């Protein structure tokens, strides 16, 4: 059997064009990056957005305050289990969000609205921690020093959650609502429908009004009411 002929070598011009397409990529968008190149870009962009806007700093401080609060509560005997449960739950949520944004995992889960989820978490954290402060002061009016410091740190963390809510508002600024998302794309070979101009719409309204007026003029007048016989 005859050996198959090797494929013709690619032209140097074509190789150069393909190399240029791989090298030239937009800095503000993913572009055509795939695999590890895309993950490196997503990781860099996610950390830049997370730390520059201020979410990372606020969440990191909140996590540190909550861990310190948990240690102080455990050093005091007789602390109510609900307070420990609230602190442990919030530590888990803040740690999860920090890992999520630091490793750009949220970029690969687009079906979840992460900014809205983070906003709701800040509001819930503020309510839970504020309620925890009130519950802690009601349960123990005469507080030891460690207990008092833990309660103060809980209040500071609740205030930081409110600050993070304000930072989330900055995240939503500049976002435009995409219109006609549910409109199917035109079929190949078919021209997209042109949007109706306001002038044509006004002309159609004037024609409709004129036809209605002409129809009203051409209609015979109603007969007079019949008079009753004497």
- Comparing 16-25, 57-66, 90-99, 189-198, which segment has the lowest mean pLDDT? 16-25
pTM above 0.75, yes or no: no
- Please tell me the predicted confidence (pLDDT) of residue 1: 46
- CA atoms of 24 and 31, how far apart (whole Å): 9
Give 30 or 71, the one with higher predicted confidence: 71
The C-alpha angle with vertex 34 and arms to 32 and 40, in degrees rounded to 5, equals 105
97-114 tens-digit pLDDT: 999 998 888 888 888 888
Dihedrals phi, psi of 178, to nearest 5 degrees = -80, 125
Centre a 10 Å sphere on the Cβ of residue 13 and count the other Cβ atoms it contains: 8
pLDDT (mean) for 12-20: 50
pLDDT tens per residue, range 149-177 = 999 999 999 999 999 988 877 666 655 55
DSSP letters spanning 5-41: PPPPPPPHHHHHHHHHHHH---SSS-TT--HHHHHHH
Decide if pLDDT at 178 tops 60: no
Sign of CA dihedral 117, 123, 125, 131: negative
The yes-or-no verdict on residue 193 having pLDDT over 90 is no
């Amino acid at each position: 059997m005859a050996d198959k002929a090797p494929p013709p070598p690619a032209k140097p011009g074509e190789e150069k064009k393909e190399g240029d397409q791989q090298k030239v990529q937009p800095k503000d968008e993913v572009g055509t990056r795939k695999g590890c190149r895309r993950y490196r870009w997503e990781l860099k962009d996610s950390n830049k957005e997370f730390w520059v806007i201020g979410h990372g700093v606020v969440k990191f401080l909140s996590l540190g305050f909550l861990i310190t609060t948990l240690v102080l509560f455990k050093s005091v005997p007789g602390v109510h289990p609900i307070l420990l449960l609230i602190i442990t739950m919030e530590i888990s949520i803040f740690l999860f969000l920090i890992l999520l944004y630091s490793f750009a995992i949220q970029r690969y889960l687009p079906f979840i609205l992460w900014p809205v989820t983070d906003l709701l978490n800040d509001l819930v954290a503020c309510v839970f921690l504020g309620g925890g402060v009130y519950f802690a002061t009601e349960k123990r009016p005469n507080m030891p020093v460690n207990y008092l410091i833990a309660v103060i740190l809980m209040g500071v963390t609740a205030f930081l959650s409110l600050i993070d809510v304000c930072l989330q508002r900055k995240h939503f600024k500049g976002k435009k609502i995409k219109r006609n998302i549910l409109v199917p794309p035109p079929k190949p070979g078919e021209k997209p429908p042109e949007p109706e101009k306001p002038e044509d719409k006004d002309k159609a309204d004037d024609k409709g009004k004129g036809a209605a007026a002409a129809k009203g003029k051409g209609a015979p007048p109603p007969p007079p009411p019949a008079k009753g016989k004497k």
